[in-house]
Structure formats: structure tokens, C-alpha cells
Amino acid sequence: MIQWIKLLETYTKHNFAKRLLHTTVCRHLEQAKYQYIQSSELPTLHFQKTLPRLPIPQLNLTCERLLSAVQPLLDEEEYRLTVQNLMEFQKGDGAVLQTYLKNSDKANKHTSYVSKPWFDMYLCDRSPLPINYNPLLIMKSDNRSNQNQILRATNLVISSLRFWRSLQENILEPEMYHLNPTKTDTKSFRNIMRFVPKSLATYGAYAFKVFPLDMSQYNRIFGLSRIPQNDKDILVQHKNSRHILVMRGGNMYAVDVLDNIGNIEPPAVIFERLQTVLQMDEASGTSIIPVGALTSVNRNEWAALRKHLIHNVGGENEVLFEKEIDAALFCLCLDKDNDPMYNEENLAPLLKHLLAGDGKNRWFDKSVSLIVCADGTAALNFEHSWGDGVAVLRYFNDVFKDTLQNSFVTSNVVTANLVNTKSVRPINLKTDKLVQNEVRKAVLKNTHIMDQLNIDLLRHTLINKALCKQHSLSPDAVMQLSFQLAYKRAFNEYVGTYESCSTAAFRHGRTETIRPCTMATKQFCESFMQINQKQLNSSELFNLIKQSSSMHSKLTKEAAMGQGFDRHLFALKHQAIAHNKPLPQIFESKAYKTINNNIISTSTLSSNALLAGSFGPVVQNGLGIAYSMQEDYCGAVVTSYKNHRNGKEFIDNLKIALDEIYCILKNKFN
């Protein structure tokens, strides 16, 4: 671009014309810079077509892996029956289903064998979205003056739009995992990749130990809505939308944020439009019938109510749903002063409010909802069917970083007081007594559910990444081992444990499951619990930790490479149903039901932008554990339901478990 300017200047004879030209071009350059969060030298989808396909594991290996995973959970007789069931499955029904699966995979080379059934699994489940599916990520604070609610909301909206515009123009940096980032996360590496033929792009990156990741989910971050339907929802996307959905006090507004040609409106304009929302809301007051609460109910119930709103209640409801709500690029929830806010001493009320709350000021069907509290605390609540943590976390990190680096609006923002009434449009859905009654019931039910949900937190400063690496241990393995020891101490049993692992290294990969409860972790827990009888020293206990870490690392690698067993068995079961075959005995066995009764459900996200994350238990008597291991501490946020599982008892024992593991690592255990 600079060379182009100089060339034009060369052929422009008059100094005044040169200055005018330079000023005009620079203004356009500055405007172009404002529109995009990144301008990557490599196209966003540079590697997408050459990503390898998700492999279908060998049937015998899947059976072996399932057997290993269930062994610590079963007694000898149940284990023997499982061995027998798997032998029969491998020789009979399993081989038939494997053939069906391979044939289906060959007929759908554009995607992965798990993609469609995984989508269907999400979209067919009738459970309410909040707590059950929609996770929460809370951003760290912006400690500058920009923490003001509307200032921070404006900056987050602009950075989100910059992310979206970069994605649309194919100039968002491709997602890559660098094995040695100091050597390859460089401009020279990207320059080399530009000259590698597209047909060899991914394999060229592999030569530098760089692993490109699937980016097919990224386009679904914006303009996407999950539409409730009877028995199976659908996903509808509007990529050319110019507005966002803004919620305040249960009232809804469509706010234009892009101009007529798709460019981001100036910062002062967006700020002024969000201020207008507050003014309109103050004038109208908190909504008496916050229809958004209906997005929190059973999906079939919501489907029937939405249909009733469109076809029976009528009015402009159908147009408002399709053009203003469903088509919005994303949802921005501006919470009020009386909602819970950030309290460093007690995060639990804020976590409960942002995870689900009473649902009045939410639209859980949108792909992503940015939530900004009255004190400027910001969070992301996202619908999970369309994508997984890799895409969401990339968006979350990039937006947070951009808001810190670029203060598009500050406390000195100057507005023109020229808001066009058409650019901020109240969305007034027409209701009737049936809908009004159902809204009230939904709010009451949400309040009751949140009253039953416990959130317990732990921050432990003795165990951290540095300590684990010092002892050549996987930090994740140490965390997972501590969960097993804590649960055994608290409830005296071993249970189905789930850890999500991304398979984004493959085209249209989703996730695979790591099963952290292994015979190695069980041996450590049993030995530790009986230490007085066995007289084990810290060196022997450390060796058991080392064995657990090695096993966990092996399982993690297998899962990341598409060699877990959970998704394979899930797809085989799907083939049986698709071909009207009776379910093989293994799917009806106690072993399979036990391993899939995920009482301990865990997920970890590593991010410098993340203050805390949370999600609900996946079974009523379970624990939902969002955790992280940082350079100077480790921590966990644990959800549980009252009268079903004592999360406080678990978190207390987790602290003890981490203390004890620390003592072993420091060779101080007596």
C-alpha cells in the first residue's frame, strides 16, 4: 500500500495535489485498519482443504481402550462379562457396524465421520440450554477507566466486529499449534508458508512442527441462532446482518453496528446507540414479560411457544423473530445495578448469575452472548451445538487483547447526539396470557434451579505449572489425579470421569474424551489411602504419580490424534440406529452405562484473558469442574446440585489432595 502511494505521488505533479492525495489515502488506510482486528499474510483458510481427515480407529483398539477405561470402575465379575461382551462385539455386530461406518465415511469425504451425528446429538437433546449446555467464560478486568459498562461494551462490540470482518475477508490469522513457538511463530515462517503450494500447505507446516487447526466452526460465531423445533432444533445463519441484539432489563433492541456497505460504524456512533438503549430502557422500565426467559426452558416447550407466538398471537412477531432476533450478529446483554457484580472475595454469586441466572435478560439461542455487568465485568455465554472451545477461546482471547491494545472509546468520547431512530429499534414481541404465564413460570423455575445449584471455588498457590515441569509431570495429569484422590476421600468410590480433548487437528474435528480415572490413578489413591498400613515413603508415592502422569499423557495424545474410543463407539451406535439394527449388547451393558455416567465432568481452558469459567454438572448427582493450571497457581470452579452431591465436601478434599501431592513433590511427606 505504501509503495502504491509513492507511485501515485510520483505521477502527481503539484505539491498541493500530492498533499491532498496523501491525506486522502492515509485516511482510507486508517479507516481500513479500524475495520480489521488482523491482516494476516496467510489467508484464514490457507490450510483448511489440506487438513487430514479424522481417522476411524481400529475396532480391536477401541475395544481394548474401553476395557482399560472401565476396569477401575467395575468389580471382577462385571469386568469378566465386559471382556466377553467385547469379544463377541468385535467378531460380530461390531465388525458389521465398522463396515457401515467406513462406507459412510467414504461417501462424505468433505467432513469427519463424527460431525453430523455429533450435531444431531446436540440438536435433538430436549434439555434446557443454560447450565446443561451453555458454558460461561468471564474476562479479566480492564483496570483502566474503560471498565465503565457502556465504554467496555462498546469496545467489546467493536473488537468483536473487527474479528468478524477479518474472518469475512479471509485475513484472520489461521489457527495453528506451534510445538516450538519461539522458532516458528514468526514472520519468516509465514513468509515461507506463502510459497508452499496450497495442496501441500498443511504438510509444509508439519515439516516445521506446526500443526494447523480446523477453522470450519469460526464462521458460525456470528449471525447464528439455534431455532427450537419439535424433537430436533435447527441452526439458522444470517451472514450479511448489520445489527446486534441488545438486551436490557428483559427488553430487547436491534442496534445497527455496520453501515450499508458492511463497514463498522465509528466508535462514537456505536457508543451513542448503546447509550440510547439505556435511555429507552429507563423510559420504558424493566420488562414485565421478559420473553428471553423462554429460551431457557425445555426445547420442545420453547418450540411450541415460539410457534404459538408466531402463528397464534401474530402481529409482527414472525418478522421480529426472523429479521431482528435470529438474524442478529450476536447478543449483547447489559445487566443492571441490582444484578450480582464482581466480588474478589466471593465469585460464586456472579458465576451463578452469568452462567444462567433467572434468564430474564438473556437470549440463550444466540451463538454467543456478550454479557457486561453494571460495573463493567464482562463475560461470554455461548450456545454449544455449533462449536467447541478452540474457536470460542480464540475469539475470546483476540477480543480481550484488542480491547486492551485499542481503546476505541474512552471517558472522553464525544457524541453528536444524532441517533437515528431506525438504527436503534425496540423489539416488542406481542404476547398473550398463555405466553405471559409461561414466562413467569420459566423465571420461577430458573430461580429455583439456581437456588439448587452450588458453586464452590478453590485457588491453590502451591501446585503450579513450574512445579510440575520441574518434576517432568504433566500439569493436566496432576490436576486430574487430584480430582480422583479428592473424590475417593470424599465419597469413597471411583466413577465415570470425562475430560474433553479437541480434535481440531483434523478437518471438521470436534472433541474426543480422555478418561482420567485409570488403574494408575486408582493404584495411587489406594496406596495413599492405606499409607499407614503399607508404610510407603514419598519416593514410592512419587513413582505412582509419575506412572499416572505417563498414562494420562498417553491417553491425551491418543485422544488428540483421534484414537480415543468414545467417539468411535458413539458413531458405531449411531450406525446401528441408522440401519435399524438392534443395539449390540455392549451398549446395554453396565460397563458402557457406567463409563458414560459422567459424574465427574471436567474441562480446562488456558488463557491469559480468562478470569474464571463454569458449566453445569452433566448428571444430577455429578460435578462440573472447570479448572486451570497457571504458572503460579492452579484452580477449580465446581458446580453441583444440593441434596444430590456435596460440592463443598469435594472442594475441601481437593485442597487436601493438592496439599498432599505438593508434599510428595517437595519430598516433605512424613
Query: Which residues are identified as catalytic?
Result: 384
Beta bridge partner(s), residue 254? 245, 425
Report yes or no: 249 and 285 within 8 Å, Cβ to Cβ. Answer: yes
With residue 602 as reference, give the H or E element that holds it. Answer: strand 600-604
| C-alpha to C-alpha distance for 88 and 66, rounded to whole angstroms | 14
Report the candidate in 502, 503, 490, 507 with the shortest Cα–Cα distance to residue 600.
490
Report yes or no: 564 and 461 within 8 Å, Cβ to Cβ. Answer: no
| C-alpha to C-alpha distance for 162 and 185, rounded to whole angstroms | 22
Region of residue 373 (phi > 0: left; psi between -120 and 50: alpha; otherwise: beta): beta
| C-alpha to C-alpha distance for 397 and 170, rounded to whole angstroms | 19
Tell me which residue has cell 505412582. 544
Helices 538-560, 519-529: inter-axial angle, 10-degree rounding: 160
| C-alpha to C-alpha distance for 85 and 83, rounded to whole angstroms | 6
* Phi, psi (deg, nearest 5) at residue 628: -155, 155
**Could you tell me the three cell numbers for 200?**
501441500
Tell me which residue has cell 444466540. 366
| C-alpha to C-alpha distance for 370 and 159, rounded to whole angstroms | 12
Report yes or no: 431 and 289 within 8 Å, Cβ to Cβ. Answer: yes
* CA-based torsion, 628, 558, 190, 27: positive or negative: negative
| C-alpha to C-alpha distance for 305 and 623, rounded to whole angstroms | 32
| C-alpha to C-alpha distance for 18 and 24, rounded to whole angstroms | 10
| C-alpha to C-alpha distance for 229 and 220, rounded to whole angstroms | 19
User: What is the amino acid identity at position 533?
Assistant: Q
Report yes or no: 356 and 131 within 8 Å, Cβ to Cβ. Answer: yes
Q: Is 223 helix (H, G, I), strand (E, B) or coil?
A: coil
Q: Where are the beta strands (DSSP E) in 228-344?
A: 234-237, 243-248, 251-256, 331-334
C-alpha distances in angstroms, 17 versus 23, 24, 28, 124, 487?
10, 10, 16, 64, 76
Contact partners, residue 328, CB within 8 Å, separation at least 6: 223, 225, 241, 243, 244, 245, 254, 366
Report yes or no: 382 and 129 within 8 Å, Cβ to Cβ. Answer: no
| C-alpha to C-alpha distance for 610 and 137, rounded to whole angstroms | 7
| C-alpha to C-alpha distance for 178 and 212, rounded to whole angstroms | 9
